[in-house]
């Protein structure tokens, strides 16, 4: 899957799609992370969150790797 991530909403859509591909409910993913289902829901809804350790652990569990590219020469 390739996606341009330009906003919290873009990242939320990617997380939601990959969570579903892994056959996980929001609740199941939250349990694996040791957090609440609400946290996963808000992430998928694109609500801005502080980039904390749980957030990066969630990305890792779903196989999401963020990269940045610059348009400057």
Q: What pLDDT, on a 0 to 100 scale, did the predictor assign at position 24?
A: 96
Q: What is the pLDDT of residues 31-54, one digit of tens each?
A: 999 999 999 999 899 886 666 677
pTM of the model: 0.73
CATH code where residue 15 lies: 1.10.260.40
Tokens 């801005």 appear where?
48
Note whether residue 71 is domain-resident.
no
Note whether residue 34 is domain-resident.
yes
Tally the domains of the chain: 1
Residue ranges making up the domain that contains 19: 8-61
Q: What pLDDT, on a 0 to 100 scale, did the predictor assign at position 5?
A: 75
Note whether residue 69 is domain-resident.
no
DSSP 8-state symbol, 7: S
Q: What pLDDT, on a 0 to 100 scale, did the predictor assign at position 29?
A: 96
User: At residue 8, does pLDDT exceed 70?
Assistant: yes
Handedness of CA 37, 65, 19, 15 (dihedral sign): positive
């Amino acid at each position: 899957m390739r996606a341009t991530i330009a906003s919290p909403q873009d990242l939320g859509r990617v997380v939601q799609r990959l969570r579903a591909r892994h056959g996980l409910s929001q609740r199941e993913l939250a349990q694996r992370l040791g957090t609440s289902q609400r946290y996963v829901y808000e992430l998928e809804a694109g609500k801005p969150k502080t980039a904390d350790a749980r957030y990066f652990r969630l990305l890792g569990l779903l196989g999401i790797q963020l990269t940045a590219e610059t348009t400057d020469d």
